[in-house]
Copies of this chain bind each other. A is one copy, B any other.
Amino acid sequence: MYVVILAGGSGTRFWPLSRTKTPKQLMSVFGGKSMLQRTVERVLPLSPKRIMVVTNALQAEETARQLKDLGDLPVDVIAEPVGRNTAPAIALAAAVIACHDPDATMLVLPADHYIRDEAEFCRVARAACEAAADGALVTLGIEPTRPETGYGYIEADTAAPGAGACPVRRFVEKPDMQKALEFLAARNFYWNSGMFIWRVEAIRGELARQMPELAAAIDTIVFGEPWDLEALKPQVERIYPGIRGESIDYGVMERAERVLVIPASFGWSDVGSWSALPEVMEADGNGNVAIAAKGVVSIDSGDSLVYGNGKMTALVGVTGLIIVDTPDALLVCSQHRAQDVKKVVEQLQREGRTEYL
C-alpha cells in the first residue's frame, strides 16, 4: 500500500493560527504535533511502502522540515507550483506510484482531518484496501452522528452500516437541515470524508476516461524515473500551472463506473473551522476547551475554546466564544460565526496587511 497525503490547503478559517506559510495542516491545532505529522503517524501501522505528501511550493520547506522531525520514514514531498484542487494532485501522485509499481494500491488522505480512534481507522483502511483489490474506487464514508449540514454525503445502495463496502448510488452536496435529518434517519447516507483507496491503475483508467486532458498533461510530467521527484520538478513547474483545477469528487467519483463506500466510524472531523475543535476535544467542567493555555480561570463562563499561546486565560461572564492568541494577532469570535473568520483574512488582504496573512 502507498499513501498519498493531500497537504496543499490554505486554511483561512483557522486564522490567526494558520498563515500563508503555515496553514492548518502544518499547525499544532490540538497542541503537540501538527495535523500533517499526526496524519503521517496514523498510517504507519499500515506499513506503507512509501508516503507521498503533495503540498504547494510556499509550504514545501516547512512541510519537509516537519516530516524530517518524525525521523527516518519513507516519505516524499511533491510541491505544486500552484494549487489545482484534488484531481490533479491525485493524478500526479498516481502517475508517480504507477511508474514504480503498476500493481500498487493507494490510500488518499487529507492532511488536516481529525481521527479519534486510530486503530479503527487502520482496520477500515485495510478493509477498504481489500475492497479495492478488484478495481473498484473505494471511498471512506463516515457514519453520521448528527444532522450535519456542513458536509457532503454519499448515498449507498443499501442501509447496512458496519457491513463492509457497498456500491454508491450517488454523491450529494451539502444538504439543508431538513434533508440532513432525512439522511440521518435513512441510515444509507454517509459523510463524504475525502479519503479514498484504489489501485493506481483503476484511478488512472478513470482519469484517462473522464479527464483525458488532465491525464495527458500528467503523462508529459511523469515518465521513467520513479521517486526521483527532484528530477520531476522542472516538468511540474512548466506543465502544472496550465492544468485546469478540479476536485476528484466532481471530476471522477461522481461518474466513475465502480464506486464503493466503506462505512467508517472512528470519530472523524474535517476540522473545518475553530468551532469543530470543541466537538472532538475534551472540555473541562465548564465546557471550555483549552489548547496551549496555562490554565483557564472561568467565572460564570463556559462553552468556549481558548487557544492560549502559552498564557493563563481568564473568562468572566462569557459563553460560546472562540479565543485564539498568537504572538502578533488575537481573535475573539462567536462560536456561531466561526465560518466568518475567513472574512477577517479577506479584509486583511484588501487592506494589504500581509504581515498578518
Selected A-B contacts with CB under 8 Å, 22 pairs: A16-B312, A294-B328, A297-B347, A299-B347, A311-B327, A311-B329, A312-B328, A312-B329, A313-B329, A313-B332, A314-B332, A315-B331, A315-B332, A316-B331, A316-B333, A316-B337, A316-B340, A316-B343, A316-B344, A318-B334, A321-B332, A323-B332
Report the minimum CB–CB distance from A266 to chain B (whole Å). Answer: 31
Selected from B313, B318, B340, the residue in CB contact (under 8 A) with A330 is: B313
Interface centre among A304, A312, A316 (most CB of B within 10 A): A316
> Given that A344-B299, A347-B297 are contacting pairs, would A333 and B353 also be in contact in the complex, using a CB cutoff of 8 Å?
no
A348 touches B316 (CB 8 A): no
Copies in the complex: 2
Judging by beta carbons under 8 Å apart, are A16 and B314 in contact? yes
Q: Which residues of B contact A309 (CB under 8 A)?
A: 330
A337 to B301, alpha carbons, bound, how many Å? 11
A356 proximal to B (CB < 8 A): yes
Which residues of A approach B to under 8 Å, CB–CB?
15-16, 294-295, 297, 299-300, 304, 308-309, 311-318, 321, 323, 325, 327-334, 336-338, 340-341, 343-344, 347-348, 353, 356
B residues less than 8 Å from A314 (CB atoms): 15-16, 329-333, 341, 344
Chain B contacts for A332, CB-based, 8 A? 304, 313-316, 318, 321, 323, 332
A111 → B minimal CB distance (Å): 25
Kindly report which residue of chain B lies nearest to residue A304, judged by CB atoms. B332
Q: Which residue of B lies closest to A326 (CB)?
A: B311
Q: Which residues of B contact A344 (CB under 8 A)?
A: 297, 299, 314, 316
Residues from chain B with Cβ under 8 Å of A336 in the complex: 317
* Given A295-B353, A312-B353; 8 other pairs, CB 8 A cutoff: A16-B312, A294-B328, A312-B328, A314-B331, A315-B332, A316-B341, A316-B344, A317-B336
Q: Note all chain B residues with C-beta closer than 8 A to A343.
A: 299, 316
- Which B residue's beta carbon lies closest to that of A347? B297
Which among A314, A333, A334 has the greatest number of chain B C-beta atoms within 10 A?
Answer: A314
Contact B317–A334 (Cβ < 8 Å): yes
The 9 A-B pairs of least Cβ separation, nearest first, read A317-B337, A317-B334, A316-B333, A314-B344, A312-B329, A313-B330, A314-B331, A316-B337, A299-B343
Residue from the list B297, B318, B334 in contact with A316, Cβ < 8 A: B334
Q: Are A330 and B347 in contact (CB under 8 A)?
A: no
Q: Shortest CB–CB separation between residue A288 and chain B, in angstroms? A: 11
| Bound Cα distance A316, B294 (Å) | 24
Tell me the minimal C-beta distance from A145 to chain B in angstroms: 26
Residues of B close to A316: CB separation below 8 A: 331-334, 337-338, 340-341, 343-344
List, in ascending order, chain B residues with CB within 8 A of A325's CB. 325, 330
List residues of chain B with CB within 8 A of the CB of A299: 337, 340, 343-344, 347
The answer to whether B330 and A312 touch across the interface, beta carbons within 8 angstroms, is: yes
- Of all chain B residues, the one with the shortest Cβ separation from A337 is B317
Nearest residue, chain B, Cβ from A338: B316
Complex Cα gap A328–B348 (Å): 26
Asked if A311 contacts B337 (CB within 8 A), the reply is no
Which residue of B is nearest A322, CB measured?
Answer: B316
